[in-house]
Amino acid sequence: MRLRHIPGAEQMIEESPYVIQKPEERKGKWHEVFGNHNPIHIEVGMGKGKFIMELARTNPEVNYIGIERYSTVMLKALQKREQLQLSNIYFMCVDAKNMAEIFEPGEVARIYLNFSDPWPKDRHAKRRLTSPQFMEVYDKILSRDGRVEFKTDNRGLFDYSLESVPEAGWKILESTFDLHHSEMAEGNVMTEYETKFAAEGKPICKLTAVR
Ligand code: SAM
């Protein structure tokens, strides 16, 4: 997702109390940011943030961090965030490939990847968020029993992930090609893209990966 440039977006993000500036300075000290030792769950590529804000609202015992690399998209999430009274969620405007500089090994308990950009060309495969390169980053920061949960409507990206994830040394704990009509649907929280695709009747794929 990329939106038209919004003048002043960067400055608004720099001044927001909900966005962590220089997140690499928090490495190993994220519990200080939240003021507790609750587990940290991250969404990589949160877009406008519907999913992660809903999770933060319903799970006060979990700390959430939404990562989005585009400031114009982040701004949309911030507009929503400002209307909520929540102390367990922050955002970061960074590229997820740098997460190992931002979190200590084991500092993160769960990573959500929702409707990640498919990057269909082979020469862009490294940019897919389920590529071995990204799985290596997640391996560095996730706790031993941590997990990655990935949802997409894109069958090509999903089929790729069913191969790339085990190739990177991970186990696929469970998977489905039709989340909304499967046992994995229980407790499912819909993202912005998921709501749109489900309304169009597209099946949603999901996998959960552990080491
Ligand atoms: N997760 C949301 C949903 O399901 O509605 C948004 C999906 S949107 C297709 C994917 C988002 O991931 C885009 O906003 C994009 O900018 C972001 N993104 C993709 N690669 C990223 C990366 N390496 N680091 C941070 N954000 C990324």
User: How far apart (Å, rounded) are the C-alpha atoms in residues 94 and 107?
Assistant: 18
Is residue 166 situated within a structural domain?
A: yes
Cα dihedral 103/108/110/114 (nearest 10): -20
Q: Is the pLDDT of residue 67 over 70?
A: yes
User: How far apart (Å, rounded) are the C-alpha atoms in residues 146 and 65?
Assistant: 15
User: How far apart (Å, rounded) are the C-alpha atoms in residues 108 and 117?
Assistant: 23
Which of 51, 69, 126, 127 has most ligand 1 atoms within 8 Å of CB, for mutation? Answer: 69
Domain of 97 in residue numbering reads as 9-210
Is residue 2 situated within a structural domain?
A: no
Q: Which residues are catalytic?
A: 117
pLDDT in tens, 82-133: 999 999 999 999 999 999 999 999 999 999 999 999 999 999 999 999 999 9
What pLDDT, on the 0 to 100 scale, is given for residue 186?
97
**CATH number assigned to the domain comprising residue 36:** 3.40.50.150
Is residue 69 situated within a structural domain?
A: yes
Split into its structural domains, the chain has a count of 1
Is residue 75 situated within a structural domain?
A: yes
CA of 45 to the centre of ligand 1 (A): 3
43 CA closest ligand 1 atom index:
1
Which of 117, 137, 189 has most ligand 1 atoms within 8 Å of CB, for mutation? Answer: 117
CA of 28 to the centre of ligand 1 (A): 25
Is residue 169 situated within a structural domain?
A: yes
User: How far apart (Å, rounded) are the C-alpha atoms in residues 202 and 80?
Assistant: 27
Q: Which amino acid is at 197?
A: F
Task: Give the predicted TM-score (pTM) of the model.
Answer: 0.97
User: How far apart (Å, rounded) are the C-alpha atoms in residues 117 and 110?
Assistant: 20
Buried b (16+ CB within 10 A) or exposed e, 183-205: ebeeeeebbbbbeebbeeeeebb
49 CA closest ligand 1 atom index:
2
What pLDDT, on the 0 to 100 scale, is given for residue 70?
93
CA of 48 to the centre of ligand 1 (A): 9
Cα 99 off chain centre by: 12
Taking residues 138-151, report their average pLDDT: 98
